Amino acid sequence: MGHQVIKQPDGLYAVFSTGTDQWILWDFTREQLIGHYAQRAAEDARESKARELDEVDAAQGTAPPFGWTFAEANAQSKHSGGEVLDGPVDERLLAEMTEDDDDD
């Protein structure tokens, strides 16, 4: 669904939905419209991050479908010269990465 911002004859802004072929917002100042879309973006980001955290929590210590376990990420960070957080490091993975470096 697309939204098209259109300037009204009185200088205010309106938004037309190409999905419904109707006005969905009108009589907004520039600042109000920016604020409206900024608030929507923030809400979308919160919802997206909450869904991601739900997936991480549901994984219960295993790697979520989109990432690494804590120990794997700690090994990658250590291998890359980054911070190592308190907790386990996947030493097997770290050794594999070191071997791969030696092969290059």
Count of other CB atoms within 10 angstroms of residue 64: 16
Q: Vertex 88, ends 57 and 66: CA angle to 5°?
A: 40
| 55-80 pLDDT tens trace | 888 877 666 666 788 889 899 999 99
Alpha-carbon span 14 to 28, nearest angstrom: 7
pTM above 0.85, yes or no: no
- % of the chain with per-residue pLDDT over 90: 70
Judge whether 8 and 25 are in contact, CB under 8 Å. Answer: no
